[in-house]
């Protein structure tokens, strides 16, 4: 019997036990009863959209999912449902849907089979894999050396010209080098995995930076309620006291960074807003890093502050690839307008909260 094709649907919701209890008088209200009948039944097939709701509407919530046959999903896709003219949520979901082509209104008996969605990315498994590759690589190298020629007390155990194990040793050597290369690659991916575990970062002014699938980030500005365009790269600028310990002494002698936190922030802001100046994310060799992928694989990351008139770097400061409490945000993106390439740069306020997908949180 051919297995039915299925589709996975998702929704964002509060975790069990979160929320204020409903009073008895509210429970008797007709509008509350109508809403209760439709509660927990709205789903979508767009995981990115659900993550947006987690970042902006349910900061302490969770993602749940359910797998249903495609024909069942299509039956309850809001776009395919009839508009019955009713004002009741449960009877006429089409009248209340903003995106009927992406939303599904499932019967309660199906919706109740939902389970908490677990992300497939797992940092622990990455670290275990790195260790395995490293051990195999070292073991292979040692075996290759032994099979070729080991000198003990002046006597060669195997003569290389007559060594019947030589072809095997070459294979083992190549294998071990490959394992060490994979271990190195997994090591580079560890930071990417750490970043992928983050749900969002929130600043002192309430702006939220969400990590999107594909490597970009997106800023939601709470003050204006504006969702900005996805950004290509995001780094975090150390606070004044931290950066003083990491820069050359001449910076302090020349008062490059200012004498206090306020002057330090004003100096950085001047380079971002002044048309005669530029700020770039660079690696330890001065190469410009334009994407989060490039940022993650760099050994060390800096912000370089340039004077366009002199066409030279005035100064550079080390920045963090990962969010840290009290560090300021700096994000950037490249875009095209009227056939020309432009770069948008933005400095945000200090990070006050880091929320992870597993519910863990760092805050001041």
pLDDT one-digit tens code per residue, 155-169 = 444 444 445 555 565
CA-CA distance, 101 to 49, in Å (whole number)?
13
Query: Sign of the CA dihedral 182, 185, 190, 193?
Result: negative
HSE-CB at 275 with a 13 A cutoff on CA atoms is: 1
Which tokens go with 153?
A: 């007390």
3-class SS of residue 43: strand
Tens digits of pLDDT across the chain (364 residues) = 566 789 999 999 988 876 555 555 555 555 555 566 778 899 998 887 787 778 777 777 889 999 999 999 999 998 888 766 555 555 678 877 777 888 999 999 999 999 998 754 444 444 455 555 556 656 665 665 665 554 444 444 444 444 555 556 566 566 666 655 655 554 444 444 466 688 889 999 999 999 888 789 999 888 788 888 999 999 999 999 999 888 888 888 889 999 999 999 999 999 988 888 999 999 988 899 999 989 988 888 999 999 888 878 899 999 999 999 999 999 999 998 888 888 999 999 999 999 888 778 888 7
Per the listing, tokens 């930071």 go with 191
pLDDT per residue as tens digits for the range 78-104: 888 876 655 555 567 887 777 788 899
Residues 6 or more apart in contact with residue 106 via CB below 8 angstroms: 9, 41, 43, 66, 68, 76
Contact present, 185 and 344 (Cβ < 8 Å): no
Report domain extents, the chain.
Answer: 6-116, 123-196, 199-363
3-state secondary structure 272-325: HHCCCEEEEEEECCCCECCCHHHHHHCCCEEEEEEECCCCEEEEEEECECCCCC
Look at the pTM and tell me if it is higher than 0.75.
no
Q: Which of 308, 102, 120, 266 is nearest to 196 (CA)?
A: 120
């Amino acid at each position: 019997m051919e297995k039915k094709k299925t589709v996975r649907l998702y929704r964002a919701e509060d975790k069990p036990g979160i929320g204020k209890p409903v009073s008895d008088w509210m429970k008797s209200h007709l509008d509350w009863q109508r809403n209760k009948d439709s509660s927990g039944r709205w789903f979508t097939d767009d995981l990115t959209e659900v993550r947006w709701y987690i970042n902006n509407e349910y900061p302490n919530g969770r993602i749940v999912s359910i797998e249903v046959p495609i024909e069942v999903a299509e039956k309850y896709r809001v776009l395919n449902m009839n508009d019955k003219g009713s004002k009741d949520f449960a009877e006429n979901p089409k009248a209340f849907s903003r995106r009927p082509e992406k939303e599904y209104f499932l019967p309660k008996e199906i919706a109740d089979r939902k389970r908490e969605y677990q992300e497939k990315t797992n940092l622990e498994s990455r670290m275990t894999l790195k260790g395995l590759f490293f051990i195999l690589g070292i073991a292979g190298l040692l075996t290759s050396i032994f099979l070729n020629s080991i000198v003990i007390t002046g006597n060669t155990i195997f003569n290389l010209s007559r060594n019947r194990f030589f072809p095997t040793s070459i294979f083992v050597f190549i294998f071990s080098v490959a394992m060490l290369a994979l271990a190195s690659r997994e090591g580079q991916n560890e930071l990417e995995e750490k970043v992928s575990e983050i749900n969002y970062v929130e600043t002192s002014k309430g702006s939220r930076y969400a990590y999107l699938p594909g490597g970009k980030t997106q800023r939601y500005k709470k003050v204006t309620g504006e969702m900005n365009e996805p950004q290509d790269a995001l780094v975090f600028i150390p606070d004044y006291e931290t950066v003083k310990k990491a820069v050359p002494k001449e910076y302090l002698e020349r008062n490059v960074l200012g004498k206090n936190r306020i002057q330090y922030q004003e100096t950085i802001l001047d380079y971002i807003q002044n048309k005669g100046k530029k700020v770039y994310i660079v690696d330890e060799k001065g190469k410009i890093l334009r994407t989060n992928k490039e940022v993650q694989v760099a050994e060390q990351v800096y912000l370089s502050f340039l004077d366009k008139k002199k066409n030279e770097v005035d100064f550079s400061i080390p920045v963090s690839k990962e969010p840290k409490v009290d560090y300021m945000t700096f994000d950037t993106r490249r875009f095209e307008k009227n056939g020309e390439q432009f770069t948008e740069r933005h400095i945000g306020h200090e990070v006050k909260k880091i929320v992870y997908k597993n519910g863990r949180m760092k805050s001041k």
